[in-house]
Chains A and B, each alone.
Chain A
């Protein structure tokens, strides 16, 4: 897999190996249910009684929307042989990758486990995916997302 910035301010991910597309498809699997993330954030808002009821549905709908944009792009990549991340969908991509990383952290405590994370296959694979998603996020920050987007 090779990632290059485009002249239009987006990213192009060239798929080189058969499993590249599988890795990209894992973003949606790893992101899980956005309701969990919005409920977690609502728990922080003790100051506002009806926060969960009023704000959470709007939030998880938005998170679902971001996952849908990513799902559509990954599906198109299967046919094209390359993935195109448009500048206009940079935020959605960052959000979907973040949802995936937050869920992996919730599930496997990747950061607190340290080297222990390498001791079993499932955690190690989760760690490697987290690092890949993080690299993509860094590229999005460096080349796609800006103050005025």
Chain B
């Protein structure tokens, strides 16, 4: 398969070139955040306060890694199910979030926000936490350390293997793939 090489933060040009089903290698900084961190993000915004990171152009990875063994940057770090973040994602996309990495289908409001604000949803292979850990070169907790595996961690990734699931043109790899192979 052809592989598209992309770097973060994601710019409009790169986003326009991505289509559902593309295999990509992503390099650059990304941020982990899952259930509890997303709840705090939204609570923070509702109080009128600033998020602990500037999410403009950034990519959030729905991931709660296993602890790093001695001598390693990170433990296993595959994606968690994205739909649990659907209630929060449109608000973050409207604030400039450009990429989300996870696994599983998104809600229609998320897909609408992806099209409206030009963002992309990427799939990382669920359950491939050991493989994905090989692309993480550095890891640093940047917010909510008290949440343990749910803390926000800034990762530097090199050639992280992903597939484009939802692009700005309204395509959805899950729907396309399933329709193609349904008997």
Say if A and B assemble together.
no
